[in-house]
Amino acid sequence: FQSITLFFGEIYGLHNENSLYFTYSGGCNELEVNNLHYEVDTAAQIPWYERLSEFKLPWEINGNKQIAINRLSLRVHSGQMLAIIGSSGCGKTSLLDIITCRDEGGTMTSGQVLINGKPNTPQLVKKSIAHVRQDDRLLPHLTVRETLVFVAKLRLPTHFTQAQRDQRVDDVIAELRLRQCAHTRVGNDYVRGVSGGERRRVSIAVQLLWNPGILILDEPTSGLDSFTAHNLVITLSRLARGNRLVLLSVHQPRSDIFQLFDLVVLLSSGSAVYCGAARDMVPYFTALGYPCPRYCNPSDFYDLT
């Protein structure tokens, strides 16, 4: 077994625990969400002219409000990895979009989001947070390397020389293990390119390139096989150890992935059922009378119940 592990370690560079190619040298960051309440109007997406058949004027239409996030509070600082887990439609993407000021179609009725003690504004978010969204927005006709070179040209500070930019691109490619597909077209639904998992990693690479202090990822492991997903979360956990703040949403993570998280928020229809250290989650529910059955993955078990 050891030789097999060694073999895979050689291929994927696992043997090198310090394979963090660049570290974050900025200050300590803190992200705080206070008593956040967010409602979405489920009827707002239907245009008013489609409602004409109801003989109502636009302002007379009362949409039905749905609570997407219900009185949520959390606090996380540099060096920690916080995972938001929960079933589909529980509000993970909404929460991450609110934190990064990208929410659409909903209203925040109360609460606030603070980044280092300051309310989140689009300018502040742009400076301090890297957000990897659930859907990939990449140029399909560029290769992986071209994509990163292009972003390096636009996003890195002006004092970077061309050699430093190229070095950074190489480091990110190595960090996310994209070497074998560096010269393949990225592609999208219509243009065949790299695999879905590789495309997810390119999206993460694009954000990692400018070396942010806060990294927010929406379902980075969806669509990846369990081995690659595990490796990706190990990479994220290493980034968190390098004094970054990592916030990610995951869909029923495997138990070995779950163990890598420092903090966990378990959402259920927008309400936080559990918010605290990952290792205390099972004892907490056991004390409430819901023990996790033996040989059962806690994130699977509590997600479904």
Ligand X SMILES: Nc1ncnc2c1ncn2[C@@H]1O[C@H](COP(=O)(O)OP(=O)(O)OP(=O)(O)O)[C@@H](O)[C@H]1O
Q: Which stretches of the chain bind Mg ion, using CB under 5 A? A: 93, 134
Q: Which of Mg ion, ligand X, none does residue 40 bind to, with CB < 5 to 8 Å depending on kind?
A: ligand X
Contact by Cβ (8 Å): 126, 115: no
Cα angle: 83, vertex 145, 129; to 5 degrees: 35
Which of 17, 54, 104, 189 is in the footprint of ligand X by CB under 6 A? 104
In the complex, minimum distance from the CB of residue 134 to ligand X, in angstroms, rounded to a whole number: 6
Taking Cα atoms as reference points, which of 91, 109, 112, 107 lies closest to residue 35? 112
Position of minimal CB gap to ligand X: 105
| 30-41/65-77 β-pairing | antiparallel
Residue 93 binds ligand X (CB under 6 A): yes
Q: Which of ligand X, Mg ion, none does residue 207 bind to, with CB < 5 to 8 Å depending on kind?
A: none
- Token look-up 């990939």 returns 136
- With CB under 6 A as the rule, give the number of residues binding ligand X: 17
Which x/- pattern, by CB under 6 A, does the window 11-40 give for ligand X? -----------------------------x
Phi/psi region, residue 276 (left: phi>0; alpha: psi -120 to 50; beta: rest), is: left
Q: Which of Mg ion, ligand X, none does residue 106 bind to, with CB < 5 to 8 Å depending on kind?
A: ligand X
CB-nearer residue toward Mg ion: 134 or 184? 134
Radius of gyration of the chain (CA): 21
Residue 90 binds ligand X (CB under 6 A): yes
- Choices 81-89, 123-131, 148-156, 163-171 (CB under 6 A): range interacting with ligand X: 81-89
CB-nearer residue toward ligand X: 42 or 255? 42
Which of 105, 196, 223, 291 is in the footprint of ligand X by CB under 6 A? 105
Residue 45 binds ligand X (CB under 6 A): yes
Which of 88, 123, 158, 161 is in the footprint of ligand X by CB under 6 A? 88
CA atoms of 186 and 151, how far apart (whole Å): 14
Residue 107 binds ligand X (CB under 6 A): no
CA atoms of 220 and 254, how far apart (whole Å): 14
Contact by Cβ (8 Å): 134, 204: no
Which of 82, 91, 172, 200 is in the footprint of ligand X by CB under 6 A? 91
- Secondary-structure breakdown of the chain: helix, strand, coil percentages, each rounded to the nearest 5: 40, 25, 40
Taking Cα atoms as reference points, which of 72, 129, 76 lies closest to residue 95? 72
Residues in the site for ligand X, rule: CB under 6 A?
Answer: 40, 42, 45, 68, 86, 88-94, 104-106, 134, 251
